[in-house]
């Protein structure tokens, strides 16, 4: 987009603030991970140790933070800042899946499409994630497949796609104009 997507205006706030308001009631602690230093003071903001790693760098930073908290049973729910319609029960839906399976991670799937950023991660993901980032690459889908993460099918919604992703300025503008954006 040529600028920080998280700061684009959305319903009277930034996209980041909007997402934080939707996700905060679903989690015990809200962490914001960025590839750069942030002026935000309201929430715990983590800076990726290696900013060039993209979203997996944020997952790595959050899992490292969790490891320092000394609770081996902690779980991480992740989502991207450019998906403003995330479900208000995203965390619970992912937690329900985690309660029935010992997988290392779970990712959302909607209408047959995988949404890797909207995921749940066990702390045990950190060692294989560190190895993956050091040796293989930075593709979130690639890592989730490598660690045999399980898809969690999100139920059909009657309104807007809950995993709508505003990847481009055109997507963002179209959505504000009431059109169906191309981002999925």
Q: What is the CATH number of the domain that holds 120?
A: 3.90.550.10
Mean pLDDT over residues 4-21, rounded? 86
- If you average pLDDT over residues 2-29, what whole number do you get? 86
Residue 31: its pLDDT value, please?
87
Domain that residue 89 falls in: 5-156
| Residue 117 included in any domain | yes
Residue 135 domain flag: yes
| 63-73 core/surface letters (b: 16 or more CB in 10 A; e: else) | bbbbeeeeeee
CB atoms under 10 Å from CB of 128, counted, come to 14
Total structural domains within the chain: 1
In a domain, 90, yes or no: yes
pLDDT tens-digit map of 129-149 = 999 999 988 899 999 999 999
Q: Is residue 168 part of a domain?
A: no
Kindly state whether residue 165 falls inside one of the protein's structural domains.
no
Per residue in 68-124, pLDDT (tens digit) is 987 888 899 999 988 999 999 999 999 999 999 999 999 999 999 999 999 999 999
- Residue 169 in any domain: the answer is no
Taking each helix axis from N to C terminus, what angle separates 55-68 and 126-135, rounded to the nearest 10 degrees?
A: 140
> What's the whole-model pTM score?
0.87
Q: Which of 153, 165, 150, 160 is nearest to 55 (CA)?
A: 165
What pLDDT score was predicted for residue 39? 54
The whole-chain average pLDDT of the chain stands at 86
Least confident interval from 9-23, 36-50, 94-108, 145-159: 36-50
Q: Give the pLDDT score at 145.
A: 94
Q: What residues have CB less than 8 Å from 180, skipping those under 6 apart?
A: 174
What pLDDT does residue 146 have? 94
Top-confidence residue, 92 or 176: 92
- Cα 56 from Cα 48, distance rounded (Å): 9
141 φ, ψ to 5°? -60, -40
Q: What percent of the chain has pLDDT over 90?
A: 52
**How many helices (H) and strands (E) are present in the chain, helices listed first?**
6, 8
Query: Which tokens belong to 27?
Result: 């989690």
Q: Establish if 12 belongs to a structural domain.
A: yes
Is the confidence at residue 183, as pLDDT, over 70?
no
Q: Binning pLDDT at 50, 70 and 90, where does residue 38 land? A: low
* 175 part of a folded domain: no
């Amino acid at each position: 987009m040529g600028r920080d997507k998280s700061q684009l205006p959305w319903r009277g706030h930034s996209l980041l603030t909007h997402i934080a308001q939707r996700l905060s009631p679903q989690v015990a602690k809200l962490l914001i991970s960025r590839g750069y230093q942030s002026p935000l003071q309201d929430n715990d903001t983590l800076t990726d140790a290696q900013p060039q790693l993209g979203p997996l760098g944020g997952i790595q930073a959050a899992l490292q933070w969790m490891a320092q908290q000394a609770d081996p049973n902690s779980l991480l729910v992740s989502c991207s800042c450019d998906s403003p319609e995330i479900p208000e029960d995203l965390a619970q839906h992912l937690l329900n899946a985690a309660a029935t399976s010992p997988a290392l991670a779970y990712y959302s799937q909607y209408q047959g499409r995988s949404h890797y950023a909207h995921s749940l991660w066990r702390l045990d993901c950190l060692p294989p994630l560190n190895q993956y980032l050091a040796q293989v690459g930075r593709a979130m889908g690639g890592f989730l497949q490598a660690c045999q993460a399980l898809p969690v099918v999100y139920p059909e919604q009657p309104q807007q796609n809950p995993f709508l992703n505003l990847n481009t300025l055109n997507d963002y503008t179209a959505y504000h104009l009431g059109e169906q954006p191309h981002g999925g």
